[in-house]
Structure 1
Amino acid sequence: MIPDSAPIWLVIIVLGVGTFLIRFSFLGLVGDRQLPEWLLRHLRYTSVAVLPGLVAPLVIWPQATGGQIDPARMAAAAVTLVVGYLTKNVLAAIVAGGVTLYAMLFLIG
C-alpha cells in the first residue's frame, strides 16, 4: 500500500522552513554582531554536553549486541576517556578508542 505523498511533502517542507528559520536567526540576524562574553563562554561547552549524550547509548546499549553490555565497547570507551584526559588530544583519544574496539572485537570474537 502506497500512501498519498502530499502529507509527506508537506511535512518535509515545513521542517525545512523551520530549520532554515532557526539557522537564520543566528547567522542572518546576529551573524555580523559580536556576541556577549557570557554567551560565548556557554557555547564553548555545547559539544562537551552533546557528545556524551550521543555516544553513551551506543556504548551502554549497543544495537550490535541486542542491547546487552559489551566488554569490547566498554573497554574502548574507557581507553578513549583515559587517553583523552591524559593527552588532551581529541584525535589521539578517537584513534586509541577505535583501535581498542577493533582489537577487542577481534580477540573476543
Structure 2
Amino acid sequence: MNAQFDPVTLWTVIIGMAVGSFALRFVFIGLVGDRPLPAWILRHLRYTAVAIIPALVAPLVVWPPATGGAPDTARLAAALVTAATGYATRNVLAAMFAGAGTLWALLYLTG
C-alpha cells in the first residue's frame, strides 16, 4: 500500500521537526552548556534513563504486537526474570541475557 503525501506537507513536517530538534538541543547546549546546573536538576536528571527504558519496554510486554496485543506468558515471564536478575546482580548485561534466554526458551517450548 503506497501512501501519497503532498510534497509541501511532507517538507513542512520535516523542516518543523528539524527546527524543533535543533531548538531543544540548543537550549541545553547553547544556552546552558557553559554554566553549572543547580543540584536539584542534576539529581532529577540521574533518573532519566531509569524512567525511559521501562517506558519503552512496558508496552511491548503488556501489549505485544506479535500476539495481536494480548499479553502472553513468555513475555511476562521474560520481563520478570529480567527485572529479578537486574535487581539481584545489578548487572545490565546479565539481566538482558537472562530475559532474552527466558523469552527464547519459552517461545520455543510453547510454539
TM-score category of the 2 structures, normalised to the smaller one: over 0.9
For the residue of structure 2 that corresponds to 1:28, the secondary structure is helix
Of residues 61-70 and 31-40 in structure 1, the stretch that sits farther from structure 2 once superposed is 31-40
Which residue identity is paired with 1:26? F
Which residue identity is paired with 1:41? R
- Summarize the alignment of residues 55-66 of structure 1 with structure 2, pairs less than 5 Å apart: 55-66=57-68
Residue in 2 aligned with 1:53? 55
Residue in 2 aligned with 1:89? 91
Residue in 1 aligned with 2:7? 5
For the residue of structure 1 that corresponds to 2:94, the secondary structure is helix
Deviation of 1:4 after TM superposition, in Å, equals: 2.5
Looking at structure 2, the residues matched to 89 and 46 of structure 1 have their Cα atoms a distance apart, in angstroms, of 18
Normalization by structure 2: what TM-score?
0.91
Deviation of 1:50 after TM superposition, in Å, equals: 1.9
Residue in 1 aligned with 2:22? 20
Tell me the percent identity: 61
Which residue identity is paired with 1:11? V
Unaligned 5+ runs, structure 1 = none
- Summarize the alignment of residues 65-104 of structure 1 with structure 2, pairs less than 5 Å apart: 65-104=67-106
Of residues 16-25 and 43-52 in structure 1, the stretch that sits farther from structure 2 once superposed is 43-52
Normalization by structure 1: what TM-score?
0.93
Looking at structure 2, the residues matched to 47 and 69 of structure 1 have their Cα atoms a distance apart, in angstroms, of 25
Paired residues, what number? 109
After superposing on structure 2, the runs of 4+ consecutive aligned residues of structure 1 that deviate more than 4 Å are none
Looking at structure 1, the residues matched to 83 and 101 of structure 2 have their Cα atoms a distance apart, in angstroms, of 14
Instruction: Calculate the aligned-residue CA RMSD, in Å.
Output: 1.3
